[in-house]
Amino acid sequence: MAVYTEVSFEELETLLEQYDIGTPMSFKGIAEGIENSNFYLQTDRGAFILTLYEKRVAAEDLPFFLGLMEHLAKAGVHCPLPVKTRDGQSLVSLNLRNAAIVTFLTGIALRRPDVAHCAAGGAALAGLHKAGEGFALKRANALGPVGWRPLAESIHGANTIEDGLDALINGSLEDITAAWPHDLPSGVIHADFFPDNILFVGDAVGGVIDFYFACNDFYVYDLATMLNSWCFELDGSYNITKGQAVISAYRAARPLSEAEIAALPVLMRGAALRFLLTRTYDWLNQDPNAMVRVKDPREYSKKLRFHNKVKHAREYGL
């Protein structure tokens, strides 16, 4: 859940004295994103994003996030590039928050990507996984299976959102963690590869943004997160044509092993549970001062119920 920290124009001008990016011309808050305070900054030399890191982002993780963006950009991934201060720092302090300025990417985030967009997104995800190879820093997935139980235990009142939601969460948690795979191919993953974090220029991916959940985990778990967020329709049905487009494009760039294919159903359930947990927690603990509208957890309870009936990866488009 975002807790926005206001930044006055005077505070911005003082901050920019540390940089060589020109004179500010326009500055406004962005009501997208759910973790940090984000602002669009236009100077006489270009466009940038100022991010203030809020409570859910640990300070010790920031070198990983900022370093990863630099690494991926050098490897050819179109992603924001941290802007360094005059003395070479990517991370600064503003209003008692850690903060950073990154370059602004042009493009449109699509609410309803079509089949062609799904294929382009699948290829981009595989490219990101390959580009992340060799990145020296490591970060465990704080919202992986180890983190699900404490998060579930912190949720009180889930049934006020939807009848039976508490039983769905806790029953699925037991089953999924018991069946969770080991030793699958792994590396740096985005972990939040939703349509609103992918910018398109026509049918081509123009950029990938929001790396603040990135971590080291199974590559195919990242694919499962993408399938969950790109391939369901508004009525809750799974669009297997979109699923085929995502998986085929991904496999063309990075082949899947038999073990990864076999694990896909439980990973799909796990990805759905992860977002159901965080959305349920945020729904029940809303901050009235946050600019962002909290996302409805029932979208992911529907998806989780669907996955609970799936027996084989073929049902996702393999």
Residues 158 and 288 in one domain: yes
Which residue is it, tokens 């903060």? 99
- Tell me, what CATH number does 211's domain have? 3.90.1200.10
Do 119 and 263 share a structural domain? yes
In this prediction, residue 33 carries a pLDDT of 58
Domain endpoint, select from 79, 103, 127: 103
Percent of the chain with pLDDT over 70: 97
> Which pLDDT does position 2 carry in this prediction?
44
Nearest Cα to Cα of residue 173 among 194, 191, 193, 155? 155
Cα-based angle 18, 78, 124 (whole degrees, multiple of 5): 150
pLDDT tens-digit profile of 73-86?
A: 999 999 999 999 99
pLDDT at 3: 42
Distances (CA, A) of 209 to 68, 145, 222, 226: 12, 24, 15, 14
Q: Is 1 part of any domain?
A: no
Q: 69, 103, 137 — which closes off a domain?
A: 103
Per-residue pLDDT band for 244 (boundaries 50, 70, 90) equals very high
Residue 270 lies in a domain: yes
In a domain, 75, yes or no: yes
Whether 128 and 240 share a structural domain: yes
Q: What is the mean pLDDT of residues 275-289?
A: 89
Average pLDDT over residues 258-275: 98
Q: Indicate whether 4 belongs to any domain.
A: no
Same domain, residue pair 113 and 98: no
Paired residues of 101 in beta bridges:
50
Q: Say if residues 91 and 175 touch (Cβ distance below 8 Å).
A: no
Q: Is residue 3 part of a domain?
A: no
Residue 58: CATH number of its domain:
3.30.200.20
Residue 2: inside a domain: no
Looking at residues 253-269, what average pLDDT do you find? 97
pLDDT at res. 5: 84
pLDDT tens figures, 26-53: 999 887 656 788 999 999 999 999 999 9
* Percent over 90 (pLDDT), the chain: 89
Query: Within this chain, do residues 38 and 127 fall inside the same structural domain, yes or no?
Result: no
Same domain, 89 and 113: no
**C-alpha–C-alpha distance, residues 16 and 48, integer Å:** 12
* 184 vs 55, residue with greater confidence: 184
Residue 213 domain-assigned (yes or no)? yes
Q: Which residue range(s) make up the domain with 28?
A: 9-103
CA-based nearest residue to 144, from 210, 237, 216, 198: 216
Are residues 181 and 298 located together in one domain of the fold? yes
Instruction: Report which of 229, 236, 248, 293 is spatially closest to residue 34, judged by C-alpha positions.
Output: 293
Do 23 and 122 fall into the same domain?
Answer: no
Residue at token pair 């049905």: 237
Question: What pLDDT score was predicted for residue 222?
Answer: 98
Q: Are residues 146 and 90 in the same domain?
A: no
170 and 97 both lie in a single domain: no
Angstrom distance (rounded) from CA 163 to CA 160: 7
**Number of domain units in the chain:** 2
What DSSP letter does each residue of 30-85 carry, written as one string? Answer: ----SSSEEEEEEETTEEEEEEE--TTS-GGGHHHHHHHHHHHHHTT-----BPP-
pLDDT 10s digits, 190-227 = 999 999 999 999 999 999 999 999 999 999 999 999 99
**Domain end marker among 68, 84, 103:** 103
For residue 61, tell me if it sits in a domain.
yes
Q: Are residues 298 and 216 in the same domain?
A: yes
Among 55-59, 171-175, 264-268, 295-299, whose mean pLDDT is lowest? 55-59
Same domain, 124 and 222: yes
- What pLDDT score does 286 carry? 83
